[in-house]
């Protein structure tokens, strides 16, 4: 069964998000229609995050509440309060809407990512930190999840891992794809392969800041994978360690409990993927 068909089935049965491997998919997918997604997930690791985000936790996770956690400092605020805080200025900021040139750069970044990780000698890279991530880390292969983000030094329980809030430094790396610009987004996506478009969509989610459409994380934090037994979680500064983490351990959050996507955002993501490979050359000049 093709991955996109799996996603459509999942949407049809009102599922929402979040498993990180085929074992959890097999455990949670009690509906027989979803069984085909299990084998497909093993064959499509590069598109696996999209499938993770499509499988439901809403029906069977005891941790789900009517107020869902988010990957940011906005947890206690509704959209109106968030907008007011942004307008007041200070440390609060609003993610910028991606321009046409930025959209091209985003898709090109996803294309470079796929080329890089496909090289036989690729082992990843190490960074001392970033404006978003507060700890040194390594990006490297993470089995059927593709790439992951790993600790390179000891991290203590409660230590801040990365900024997840509407801060100016963070927002430079998060770009919004608003619904009122989807005609342009579809035109840009049309010039790239489905693999490239799907990879970029792995880095995008519901726009939690102002509810305009999708928000895409373009920093290395987008390599953090999901697990039902995470070692980091939302905290008052963004994301913090749930326990002591040793060098070499992969940093893992739980997409499902955070509620990063909903049916609307998954539908928007699917519409962009469906636009792939429909124009040669595309707006950005690339051929799929």
Give dist(CA 185, CA 179) in Å, integer: 9
Q: How confident is the model at residue 162 (pLDDT cuts 50, 70, 90)?
A: confident
pLDDT at 182 over 90: yes
Give dist(CA 154, CA 167) in Å, integer: 26
* Nearest alpha carbon to residue 155 among 240, 252, 224: 240
Q: Report CA 35 to chain centroid distance, whole Å.
A: 24
Under DSSP, is residue 225 helix (H, G, I), strand (E, B) or coil?
A: strand
Phi then psi dihedrals of residue 207, to 5 deg: -70, 90
pLDDT digit string (tens) for 218-277? 989 899 999 999 999 888 777 899 999 999 999 999 887 777 778 899 999 999 999 999
For residues 197 and 51, which has the higher predicted lDDT (pLDDT)? 197
CATH class name, domain 73-274: mainly beta
Give dist(CA 252, CA 218) in Å, integer: 18
For residues 55 and 29, which has the higher predicted lDDT (pLDDT)? 55
Give dist(CA 41, CA 97) in Å, integer: 32
How many CA atoms does the CB half-sphere of 110 hold within 13 Å?
26
The pLDDT assigned to 46 comes to: 43
């Amino acid at each position: 069964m093709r991955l996109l068909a799996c996603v459509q089935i999942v949407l049809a049965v009102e599922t929402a998000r979040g498993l990180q491997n085929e074992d959890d998919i097999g455990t949670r997918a009690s509906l027989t229609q979803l069984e085909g997604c299990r084998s497909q997930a093993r064959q499509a690791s590069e598109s696996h995050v999209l499938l993770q985000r499509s499988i439901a936790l809403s029906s069977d996770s005891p941790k789900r509440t009517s107020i869902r956690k988010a990957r940011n400092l906005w947890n206690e605020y509704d959209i109106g309060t968030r907008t007011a805080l942004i307008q007041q200025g200070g440390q609060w900021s609003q993610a910028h809407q991606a321009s046409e040139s930025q959209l091209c750069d985003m898709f090109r970044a996803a294309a470079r990512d796929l080329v890089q990780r496909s090289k036989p000698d690729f082992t990843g890279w190490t960074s001392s930190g970033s404006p978003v991530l507060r700890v040194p880390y390594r990006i490297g292969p993470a089995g059927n999840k593709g790439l992951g983000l790993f600790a390179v030094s000891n991290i203590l329980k409660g230590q801040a891992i990365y900024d997840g809030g509407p801060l100016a430094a963070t927002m430079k790396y998060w770009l919004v794809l608003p619904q009122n610009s989807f005609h342009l987004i579809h035109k840009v996506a049309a010039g790239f392969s489905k693999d490239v478009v799907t990879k970029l969509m792995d880095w995008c989610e519901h726009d939690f800041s102002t509810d305009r459409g999708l928000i895409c994380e373009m920093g290395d934090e987008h390599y953090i994978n999901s697990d039902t037994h995470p070692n980091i979680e939302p905290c008052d500064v963004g994301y913090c360690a749930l326990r002591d983490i040793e060098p070499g351990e992969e940093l893992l959050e739980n997409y499902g409990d955070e509620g990063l996507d909903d049916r609307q955002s998954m539908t928007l993501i699917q519409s962009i993927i469906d636009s792939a490979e429909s124009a040669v050359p595309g707006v950005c000049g690339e051929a799929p």
